[in-house]
Structure 1
Amino acid sequence: MRQYLWRSIFFIIGLFTISLGISLTIKADLGAGAWDALNVGLSNMIGLTVGSWTIIVGILLIFLNAYLLRAKPAYLAMLTITLIGFFIDFWLIYMFDAWDPSGYVIQAIILVVGIIALALGISTYLQARFPLSPIDQLMIAIRERLNVNLMIAKTIGELTALLLAFIFKGPIGIGTIVITFSIGPLIQVFFPILEKFLRILSKNGHLEKKNG
Structure 2
Amino acid sequence: MKERKIEFTYRNIVFYLGGFFFIGLGVNLLLRAELGAGAWDTVTYNLQAVFPSLTLGMCSLLISVTIWIIVMAYRRKAKFLLMIIPLILVSLSIDLWDLVLLSDLMPKNLIEQFIWAILGALFIPFSLSLVIASNFPAFVFDELMLMLKEIFKAKDIIGIRIGIEVFAVVLAIIFWFIADVTMDPSEVSGADIGLGAVSYGTFILAFTIGPLIQFFLSKIKGITNDDTKEHTIYLIVYILGMLAIAFGVVMMIKSNIGLSSWDTLHWSLHKLTGITVGKAVIFVALFFTTFITIVNRRKKYVFMVIPIIVVGILIDILNLDLLVDFNPSTLLIQSAIYFLGLLLLPLGGSLLIISTYPAGVFDEFMITVMRLVKTTKLMRVRVIIEISIVIIALIISLIVADPLEPFGMFKIGTIIFTVSIGFMLKNYLKFFEKIGLYKIKQI
Q: Would you call these one fold, judging by a TM-score over 0.5?
A: yes
> Structure 1 length as normaliser, TM-score?
0.87
Measure the CA separation in 1 of the matches of 2:411 and 2:366.
23
**Helix, strand or coil for the counterpart of 1:189?**
helix
Q: Deviations over 1:40-83 (max 9, x none)?
A: 1111121111001100100001122234x432351111212101
What RMSD, in angstroms, separates the aligned Cα atoms of the two structures?
Answer: 1.7
Q: Which amino acid aligns with 1:177?
A: I
Measure the CA separation in 1 of the matches of 2:355 and 2:437.
11
Structure number with larger C-alpha Rg: 2
Counterpart of 2:7? none
Counterpart of 1:13? 240
Q: Deviations over 1:96-116 (max 9, x none)?
A: 211211232222111111000
Counterpart of 1:203? none
Counterpart of 2:416? 178
Measure the CA separation in 1 of the matches of 2:430 and 2:257.
30
Q: Which amino acid aligns with 1:3?
A: E
Q: Which amino acid aligns with 2:437?
A: R
Task: Tell me, yes or no, if structure 1 residue 152 matches structure 2 residue 341.
Answer: no
**Helix, strand or coil for the counterpart of 1:188?**
helix
Q: 1:196 Cα deviation (Å)?
A: 4.1
Most deviating of 41-50 and 190-199: 190-199
CA contact (8 A) 2:260 2:417 kept: yes
Query: Could you list the runs of 5+ residues in structure 1 that have no partner in the other structure?
Result: 201-212
Counterpart of 1:41? 268
Q: 1:171 Cα deviation (Å)?
A: 0.8
Task: Tell me, yes or no, if structure 1 residue 193 matches structure 2 residue 421.
Answer: no
2:257 to 30, 33, 47: 30
Task: Tell me, yes or no, if structure 1 residue 71 matches structure 2 residue 297.
Answer: yes
Query: Could you list the runs of 5+ residues in structure 2 that have no partner in the other structure?
Result: 1-226, 398-407, 439-443
**Helix, strand or coil for the counterpart of 1:172?**
coil
Pairs aligned (count):
199
Measure the CA separation in 2 of the matches of 1:38 and 1:10.
27
Measure the CA separation in 2 of the matches of 1:130 and 1:150.
22
Q: Which amino acid aligns with 2:417?
A: I
Most deviating of 140-149 and 115-124: 140-149
Change (3 A) 1:158 1:99: same
Task: Tell me, yes or no, if structure 1 residue 167 matches structure 2 residue 405.
Answer: no
Measure the CA separation in 1 of the matches of 2:348 and 2:248.
8
CA contact (8 A) 1:6 1:198 kept: no
CA contact (8 A) 2:293 2:302 kept: no
**Helix, strand or coil for the counterpart of 1:102?**
coil
CA contact (8 A) 2:354 2:437 kept: no
Change (3 A) 1:45 1:199: closer
Q: Which amino acid aligns with 1:175?
A: G
**Helix, strand or coil for the counterpart of 1:199?**
coil
Measure the CA separation in 2 of the matches of 1:152 and 1:65.
20
CA contact (8 A) 2:347 2:425 kept: yes
Measure the CA separation in 2 of the matches of 1:65 and 1:156.
18
Task: Tell me, yes or no, if structure 1 residue 61 matches structure 2 residue 299.
Answer: no
CA contact (8 A) 1:37 1:165 kept: yes
Q: 1:160 Cα deviation (Å)?
A: 1.8
CA contact (8 A) 1:138 1:157 kept: no
**Helix, strand or coil for the counterpart of 1:110?**
helix
Task: Tell me, yes or no, if structure 1 residue 87 matches structure 2 residue 314.
Answer: yes
Counterpart of 2:202? none
Q: 1:179 Cα deviation (Å)?
A: 0.6
After TM superposition, the runs of 4+ consecutive aligned structure 1 residues lying more than 4 A away are none
Counterpart of 2:367? 140
Measure the CA separation in 1 of the matches of 2:358 and 2:437.
20
CA contact (8 A) 2:290 2:302 kept: no
Measure the CA separation in 2 of the matches of 1:101 and 1:20.
15
Q: 1:26 Cα deviation (Å)?
A: 1.3
